[in-house]
Amino acid sequence: MGYTLTEKILRSHLVEGDYRKGEEIGIRIDQTLTQDATGTMAYLQFESMGLTNIETELSASYVDHNTVQVGFENADDHRYLQSVAEAFGIYYSRPGNGICHQVHLERFGQPGVTLLGSDSHTPTGGGLGMIAIGAGGLDVAVAIGGGAYNLTCPRVTKVNLEGDLPDWVSAKDVVLKILSQLTTKGNVNTVLEYGGDGAKKLTVPERATITNMGAETGVTTSIFPSDEQTAKFLAAQGRSDHWKPLSADDDAEYDSSIDIDLSELEPLAAAPHSPGNVVPVRDLDIAVDQVMIGSCTNSSYVDLMTVAEMVKGRTLPPHVSFGIAPGSRQVLRMIARNGALDQLLSFGARILESACGFCIGNSMSPPSASASIRTSNRNFEGRSGTKDAKVYLTSPAVAAAAAISGRLFDPRDLEIPYPRVEMPYQFEIDDSMIIAPLSPVERSKVRIIRGPNIGELPRNTPMPNDINGVVTIKVGNYVTTDHIMPAGSRLKYRSNVPKYAQFVFEPIDEEFPDRATKIRDKGLHNVIVAGLSYGQGSSREHAALCPMYLGVRAVVARSIERIHAANLINFGIIPFALASDQEYDSISQGLNLTIPRIRQALEKGESLIPAFFDGSKIDLRLELSGRQRAILLAGGLLPYTVEKR
């Protein structure tokens, strides 16, 4: 029996464990990426482990999240990141150069390599035939130092794409179709591997849109073969030497399959407040207040050229706000030179920095109770910065049609021809905003600069013999990391954990930090109880780190998403599972919780753990590898790694 493409790459990078699905394996990481919202903590952790050498083939640090420098905090963190990159031999992409996933795809990604990034949309690289995985910053710090990345050996689902995309239907509609079938839960430890005659016709930027937003399904990653389309893209980027053909064996067997006829697709939208709430655009006809085009999902050259052609010679309706954020400086320069930028400006667009910006809610928040049409990948309640806004996720063509008409409706009803834009044979190549690694002699002279907002890195203590505490908060289903650890204007405190911890669960319960601090200061443990898919969304490890700082020792949930579960373990917080909704319903906030002999249970590898909520017994499930148990016993990945060195 032959191998899937996923298995080929993972097997070639296997350094720990046996390749058996469902079991933990460790893989060698070739490349890493960080962004400024997660990178500062990752490099502080790298330093605290006493690591000094970069053991990857390439590591890159991007500044793309908090580029709005209101106050000193962000500017100081950017200076820290640049000095760290200079000291350790890391590529540094300066503010304004673009979004990490877009720039990495353009300038560094290679077929067949492994990429680990401290951002949940790192799977964008799968559009180039990479195994690209999002993880917490601590996992990335370990990988930069040469450590293996551990994951559950995944199931592989084949996604067969056949046919041709009709006019007004795009790659965004393909991934929205996938989301409508898989939803945003229940897909952990799975890789989506694309193929079929339809896949062969998709360009790398189109493939990257699909692999990028595939993260919303909760899969480990998504991947396309490396073929002629890959070769064309790398040649256009001046990197033909990085191309090699890669595909699954003809007799490869998959765990499951999905068949999609591209010719049958229609324009789709993710309605509020979930990327999985997918509906046909033809079923919508609503007034629009704001249209935002950009993000790491849909800000490529072809995306923006399509929009420019649609709005050419038109004028923005008076009641609509319209913003464009090119994905990279490369894209921005190209549309500036060919006149498309002028077309957008003439229409009435506001041109924003090549950064994450509106997607993470740190700019361009929509008006109260408004409808905002966005080409980004997440529309969680409040993520835009306006709690009562209704955010719809669409393709650039659908978004542009909404900007033209002032309404969200099927663009096929527009009386204009569909703009056919081809990917260029040659992109503008200018890497002057990427600072290459210094020589070893130059690196030895660099002084790492730390601003006053960079605090001490908190560490957890080893796992106690017993957990004695309180259910400090009970939350419902589908709580995201944005709910746990809000971004937007709060993100500037990412390097100052005591300050940032003051905002844990702010969108749900503003009193949680004070309540948790009082319980912690009494010598008791805080426990979080949650429903389904707890911790979905962003990979930000602060959603585990800050609760750890407040004394959270366990999370008890119906289910926990992959990256967040790993982050909890990395910071010494036990991720317990409840067997049923009835058990979840029986637990209320404020109950006293005792889990006796938990340390002994971890040491013995027990998977059914008796817990007592005000004396009532519930058996909690604990499915962990031996390595994960050892990490929890040590108090987290940081002390575990230091002990092993």
pLDDT digits (tens, 9 = 90+) for 571-592: 999 999 998 999 999 999 999 9
pLDDT of residue 636: 95
Indicate whether 142 and 177 sit together in one domain. Answer: yes
Strand, coil or helix: 616: strand
Count how many residues are written for the chain.
645
In this model, does residue 70 exceed pLDDT 90? Answer: no
Indicate whether 201 and 288 sit together in one domain. Answer: no
On whether residue 459 sits in a domain, the answer given is no
**Between the CA of residue 364 and those of 241, 293, 379, 493, 585, what are the distances in Å?**
40, 11, 14, 20, 39
pLDDT band at 540 (very low <50, low <70, confident <90, very high): confident
* Cα R_g (the chain), whole angstroms: 24
In this model, does residue 629 exceed pLDDT 80? Answer: yes
pLDDT band at 357 (very low <50, low <70, confident <90, very high): confident
Q: Looking at residue 490, which CATH number applies to its domain?
A: 3.20.19.10
Indicate whether 218 and 317 sit together in one domain. Answer: no
In this model, does residue 458 exceed pLDDT 80? Answer: yes
The token pair at 633 is 């016993």
Helix and strand numbers (H, E) in the chain are 23, 29
Write out the DSSP string of 270-284: E-TT-TT-EEEGGG-
Indicate whether 533 and 616 sit together in one domain. Answer: yes
Indicate whether 505 and 543 sit together in one domain. Answer: yes
pLDDT of residue 579: 87
pLDDT of residue 535: 94
In this model, does residue 443 exceed pLDDT 90? Answer: yes
On whether residue 429 sits in a domain, the answer given is no
Q: Which of the listed residues 264, 298, 320 is the one where a domain comes to its end?
A: 264
Indicate whether 44 and 182 sit together in one domain. Answer: yes
Phi, psi of 546 (to 5 degrees): -70, -40
Backbone angle region of 206, left / alpha / beta, with phi > 0 → left and psi within -120 to 50 → alpha: alpha
On whether residue 456 sits in a domain, the answer given is no
pLDDT of residue 1: 82
pLDDT of residue 539: 79
On whether residue 452 sits in a domain, the answer given is no
Q: Which of the listed residues 264, 290, 323 is the one where a domain comes to its end?
A: 264
pLDDT band at 40 (very low <50, low <70, confident <90, very high): very high
Q: Which of the listed residues 213, 231, 264 is the one where a domain comes to its end?
A: 264
pLDDT (tens digit per residue) in 385-420: 898 999 999 999 999 999 999 999 999 999 899 999
Indicate whether 145 and 217 sit together in one domain. Answer: yes
Angle at 15 between CA 11 and CA 17, to 5 degrees: 85
> Could you count the other beta carbons within 10 Å of the beta carbon of residue 470?
19
Indicate whether 296 and 226 sit together in one domain. Answer: no
The token pair at 191 is 């890789």
The mean per-residue pLDDT over the stretch 510-524 comes to 97
On whether residue 448 sits in a domain, the answer given is no
pLDDT of residue 453: 86
**Average pLDDT, rounded, for the chain:** 95
On whether residue 451 sits in a domain, the answer given is no
Indicate whether 72 and 185 sit together in one domain. Answer: yes
The token pair at 479 is 């709580």
The 8-class DSSP code of residue 460 comes to P
537: Cβ–Cβ under 8 A, 6 or more apart, which residues?
120, 378, 380, 480, 481, 482, 561
Query: How many independent structural domains does the chain possess?
Result: 3
Phi, psi of 16 (to 5 degrees): -140, 140
In this model, does residue 497 exceed pLDDT 80? Answer: yes
Indicate whether 276 and 260 sit together in one domain. Answer: no
CA dihedral sign of residues 247, 160, 151, 563: positive
The mean per-residue pLDDT over the stretch 443-469 comes to 92
What residues make up the domain containing 182? 5-264
Indicate whether 225 and 285 sit together in one domain. Answer: no
Cα 501 → chain centroid: 21
Chain position carrying tokens 């709910």? 483
Rounded distance between C-alpha atoms, residue 191 and residue 214, angstroms: 10
On whether residue 184 sits in a domain, the answer given is yes
The mean per-residue pLDDT over the stretch 582-608 comes to 96
Indicate whether 389 and 528 sit together in one domain. Answer: no
Q: Looking at residue 297, which CATH number applies to its domain?
A: 3.30.499.10
In this model, does residue 380 exceed pLDDT 90? Answer: no
Which of 115, 79, 112 is CA-nearest to residue 100? 115
pLDDT of residue 69: 76
On whether residue 430 sits in a domain, the answer given is no
pLDDT of residue 439: 93
